Amino acid sequence: MIRIFNFYLSKGMLLLLALESLLLLAAIPLGVRSRFLGVPGTPPPEVIWANAALFLGMGLAVMSAFGLYRRDFDEGLGSMLFRVAASFLLILAGMAVFYYAFPDIYLGRGALGAACVTGLGAVLLMRATLFRWADLDILKHRMLVLGTGTRAAKVMELLRAADSRRRMHMVGFLPLQGLHHFVDHSLILSEQLPLPQVVDKYQVDEIVVAVRERRGGGLPVNELLECKLKGVHIIELSSFFERERGQVQLESLNASWMVLSEGFQQGILRDVVKRLFDLTASLALLVLASPVIVLAALAIVLESGFPLFYRQERVGLGGKIFTILKFRSMVQNAERDGAPQWAQAGDARVTWVGGIIRKLRIDELPQIFNVFRGDMSFVGPRPERPFFVDQLLEQVPYYAARHSIKPGITGWAQVRYPYGASLEDAIEKLQYDLYYVKNHTFFLDLLILFQTAQVVLFGKGAR
């Protein structure tokens, strides 16, 4: 894994991005060559390369929005083929729009069509080849886990994910203390050798420290240092989950790690850049989504009348209360008894139109005006209601940390985890929110926007 702008990208994903960038960049010149081979009228080089740059940028953006660069994409070959094909159809439509706006760079239907066919075929062939190679053990990262307790069991759960299996090979778990093992016993190493010799024997690339009790010789610090000096990567469990899952695990978290680790930083420059990004992104979304906003408003009024909007108190930056604005998606007086309720799957209070706008996240669009007012950012932790916040502050450690930055219309937890509807969901989402609070950058905000597009396109996690 390589860290770029406080975000971890696997070497395999970087390789995939690099190769597909080259293929997308080459698609236009190859399409032009095949279309005008032996025929006069070849476009000038500056037009060809302007189209190539546009095709590359649009290709990466659309394929990102379709979820094709997610590390946890494991929906099978059929889904991947569909998404790649749909991406190229959208790229083709986008190029046509640019030709209409900028006719000077018009390339011709034949050349553009040939470029799309070439790019589509090359991307599909390359992805199939890479995924086949990814299953070879010789290319995988060899990992050893110190400990066999409940913390080590969390690592085992993570390694069952398809992406982790492709990138890592579990050498085994090395018990240090305790008689109770919470991991697969077939993976427990019975070696009595010193740790450096175990590392040499199994050709270990990385050691994950998953030991809870480290005092009184519970952790072989000198042996770990010897392994590190030999080039083996040593990583603590909190950092391992931050890297692999994009979350800060509450179970392995302590205040000293939050204080001493990189991240959790604020600053005037960061605030100014984020505010400019918020205003630009919100204005662009308002312009692009204005037809959808009008249609949604008409549908709500025709189905269930007024009020059109739903106003609700939420907790924002520094615990300050503000009023959020959303399209009404439930029946009027949905909480007649006055007690706030979590929204459940198949909630009977949701109207027919409400179910559609929730699934497509259209009900969130009026929050653009909250961003303009400064109550919210475009990207950030989702704001919760004061009633639930009071409960969560008492029951969940470090929950107040998510209020150190402005809440957002969309966020890291929203694209990584389904809609929260219980205390357990709130805890799981908090781990993603803490990751965002720790690592938020302009780069991460862009990644979240692309993944939000995938959530909207494929309706994941809505209720």
pLDDT at position 293: 92
Which SS3 state, helix, strand or coil, does residue 322 take?
A: strand
Q: Are 175 and 147 in contact (CB under 8 A)?
A: yes
Q: What is the pLDDT of residue 344?
A: 61
What is the mean pLDDT of the segment spanning 233-245? 86
DSSP 8-state assignment for residue 105: G
pLDDT band at 138 (very low <50, low <70, confident <90, very high): low
Question: What is residue 463's predicted lDDT score, i.e. its pLDDT?
Answer: 47
Q: Residue 108's pLDDT is what? A: 81
Each residue of 176-205: pLDDT tens digit? Answer: 876 678 888 888 998 888 999 999 999 899
Residue 114 has phi, psi (to 5 degrees) of -65, -40
Provide the pLDDT for residue 190.
84
77 vs 241, residue with greater confidence: 241
pLDDT tens digits for range 380-396: 999 999 988 998 888 88
- Higher-confidence residue of 275 and 109: namely 275
Q: For residue 43, give the DSSP letter.
A: P
Six token digits for residue 311: 């106003």
- Position with higher pLDDT, 353 vs 334: 353
pLDDT for the residue 23: 92
Residue 462 confidence class, pLDDT cut points 50, 70, 90: very low
Count of beta carbons in the 10 Å neighbourhood of residue 59:
25
pLDDT at position 4 is 65
pLDDT of residue 226: 93
Residues 6+ apart with CB under 8 A from 420: 342, 413, 426, 428, 429
Buried b (16+ CB within 10 A) or exposed e, 216-252: eeebbeebbeebeeeebeebebbbbbbebbbbbbbeb
Check residue 442 and give its pLDDT: 84
Residue 173, strand partner residues: 145, 188
- CA-CA distance, 69 to 183, in Å (whole number)? 31
- pLDDT value of position 56: 92
Residue 319 has pLDDT above 70, yes or no: yes
- Cα distances (Å, whole numbers) of residue 411 to 40, 69, 135, 382, 383: 52, 18, 32, 7, 10
Asked if the model's pLDDT at residue 139 lies above 70, the reply is no
CB 147 within 8 A of CB 211: yes
Q: What is the mean pLDDT of residues 93-104?
A: 86
Report whether pLDDT(213) > 60.
yes
Q: Where are the domains of the chain?
A: 2-134, 137-245, 268-458
Provide the pLDDT confidence category of residue 370 given band limits of 50, 70 and 90.
very high
Cβ atoms < 10 Å from Cβ of 337: 7
State the pLDDT at residue 38: 59
- Could you please state the CATH topology (level 3) that the domain comprising 137-245 is classified under: Rossmann fold (3.40.50)
| C-alpha closest to that of 81 among 115, 131, 34 | 131
Check residue 134 and give its pLDDT. 59
Per this entry, what is the length of the chain?
463
Sign of CA dihedral 277, 279, 283, 289: positive
Spatial distance between the Cα atoms of 326 and 158, rounded to a whole number of angstroms: 36
Residue 16: per-residue pLDDT:
82
Average pLDDT of the residues in 92-119: 86
Task: Give the Cα separation of 187 and 417 in Å (integer).
Answer: 29
Q: Average pLDDT of the chain?
A: 82
Any idea what DSSP says for residue 330? B
| Residue pLDDT, tens place only, 34-66 | 877 656 667 788 888 899 999 999 998 888 888
CA distance 153 to 156: 5
